[in-house]
Amino acid sequence: MENNSRGTRTKKTSSLAAMPQQTDAQVQGAVVVPMATAAALDPSAFAPINACHSSIPASWEERAKRAWDYYIEEPLVKNCVNSWRTFAVGDEIRITSDDDSVKTESNELADRLGVSEFVKDMILQLLVKGDAVGFKRYAKDGKDIEEVTCVNPVSVKVKYAHGQLIEVEQFPEDCPAAGDGLKLPVEQTLHLKWDAPSFSPRGNSLILPAFDSIELLRDYRRAEKAIAKRWTTPFRLLKVGGSFGQKMVMPDQKMLEQTRDMVNKMDMKSGLVVPFYVTVETHGTEGQVLNVEDKVKDVKEDIVVALGLARSLVSGDGPNFATASVSMQKMLIMIREIKHVAKTILDWIFGDWLELSGHTGKSIQFLFNDLDPTDAIDFKKLLIELYDRKLISRSSLQLKMDLDPDIEVANRQSEGKSVDLLDEKQVKPIVDMVVAGIMSIETAQEMLGLDPAKNASVPKAEAALGGILSSANHGDEICDSCAYFGSENNKCGVMQVEISFDSAACRFFKHTR
């Protein structure tokens, strides 16, 4: 017995001495703690949990691919990114210009190239992957743009020098390292970066700050599925035989199979009579259940905040009105930044097209059918009141309402050439000036688009304008020299009143021929 005990102690000592010593990596860096027995059974469940582990990949390409996977697979991420794009761009981009021919041709170009969809794709790639690469192909004669394409930025390698793009090369997406890439002309390529300084060759994804929260959300979902599976498919243990008082029941294989078949074939809605030596134990439904719902709600709010949206849009409440207003203003500023990127893309297309088509010097304005998360009616009313009080100019008013003052002036001039006869606001001021004697009937007819020769004024029409007697209009002329004076009954043909022949002539005086 003594020898055996000594041998046992010797064996324990030798096993301790056989333990591996700390390696150089453990001494210099983080010490890897040995996993417990549960982790040793399934190391995949605990392997990623390390202080040095991060869910954000080191390379930009891997970050972009993972961000795109999150956008495709996570409904919350897709909803937030699409909200930013919808707020800024809307569903359609309209183009206008002070020149009707330029307006018509530019709209035809936009329809032919699919500019609205192209801008949406570029904004989507920019927000999700942090980069957007566009390529335009000219026609053979070099006088038109034949195609615009949104290129996958993951397949493109860019090179900058002194802040300028000097080289763009595209590689196959399935195997980027195979073969030589295709070099794209720099003058035909547009490279946009999101949330990155000018010296950085690549941008940062909008989803990047939410990587850890998204992974945590997926862990909670896996835990929720495991709990649901445990509750819906409990583990049932059958105990057959055992010691019952002075009697010992030893089941054989046949007894075990009969008991198993009897339990499997039983109706779950009815009872089952079993011998006294059969016991059924159910495991899996006992114990405390993890409250996943509240934790998932908190994680979702963290993801939305990481994507730039206000927490009040998710939870419906906020600390107070002041902070909620600041958050909303911050969102509006970000929407303007995205809209500025969209205008940069459109200028890259149409600015080049104006030069190629010979429309140099013409201006184009882009109108976005966007959505505003705030009520902009009060803000527009404030701008109009400031303009009415002469506190801001007309140009400032138009700029605040996203209008181009030069284009609006040209449109007003073109609209001023013709007056809508059915619009009382346009016709009434002209009629009032004729009645006040500021404008003649012939001039008013020209402004209304009427031919004075075909619409000669008659006495009754002139009388309806409310003419008054005035000796200052025609000097010393008298009614006897007027063609409208009726000498037989001493009656004025215009005013339809009796009048003396030596009365001073009115402004409707007309010499007799």
For 171-182, what is the mean pLDDT? 69
Confidence of residue 145 (pLDDT cuts 50, 70, 90): very high
* 16 phi/psi in degrees, rounded to 5: -70, -40
Confidence of residue 377 (pLDDT cuts 50, 70, 90): low
- Those residues whose C-beta lies under 8 Å from the C-beta of residue 196, and which sit 6 or more positions away, are 130, 202, 203, 204
Residue 9 has a pLDDT of 44
For 186-202, what is the mean pLDDT? 92
456-494 pLDDT, tens digit per residue, is 655 545 544 444 434 444 556 777 778 777 777 777 877
Residue 227 has pLDDT above 80, yes or no: no
Confidence of residue 3 (pLDDT cuts 50, 70, 90): very low
Residue 178 has a pLDDT of 54
Choose between 132 and 488: higher pLDDT: 132
Per-domain boundaries in the chain: 58-207+308-374, 211-294, 375-417, 424-492
Residue 146 has a pLDDT of 92
Q: Residue 379's closest CA among 407, 348, 401, 403?
A: 401
Percent of the chain with pLDDT over 90: 21
For 224-238, what is the mean pLDDT? 75
Pure H helices in 357-404: 377-388, 394-400
| pTM of the predicted structure, to 2 decimals | 0.62
295-323 pLDDT, tens digit per residue, is 777 777 778 777 777 666 555 555 555 56
Residue 192 has a pLDDT of 95
CA-to-CA distance for 157 and 339, rounded, in angstroms? 26
- Region of poorest pLDDT, from 72-81, 222-231, 316-325, 367-376: 316-325
Task: Tell me the pLDDT of the chain averaged across its residues.
Answer: 77
Choose between 59 and 23: higher pLDDT: 59
Residue 45 has a pLDDT of 54
3-state class (DSSP) for residue 373: coil
Residue 20 has pLDDT above 50, yes or no: no
CA-to-CA distance for 373 and 441, rounded, in angstroms? 51
Pure H helices in 44-198: 60-73, 75-89, 100-113, 115-129
Residue 500 has pLDDT above 60, yes or no: yes
Q: Decide: residue 108, CB within 10 A, 0-12 exposed, 13-18 middle, 19+ buried.
A: exposed
Token pair for residue 435?
Answer: 């009645």
Residue 299 has a pLDDT of 79
For 125-156, give the DSSP string: HHHHHSEEEEEEEE-TTSSSEEEEEEE-GGGE
Confidence of residue 349 (pLDDT cuts 50, 70, 90): very high
250-269 pLDDT, tens digit per residue, is 888 988 888 888 888 888 77
Confidence of residue 185 (pLDDT cuts 50, 70, 90): very high
Residue 303: how many CB atoms within 10 A of its CB? 25
Choose between 124 and 403: higher pLDDT: 124
Choose between 4 and 232: higher pLDDT: 232
85-123 pLDDT, tens digit per residue, is 988 888 888 898 888 889 899 999 999 999 999 999 999
3-state class (DSSP) for residue 307: coil
CA-to-CA distance for 211 and 52, rounded, in angstroms? 16
Residue 400 has pLDDT above 60, yes or no: yes
Choose between 173 and 436: higher pLDDT: 436
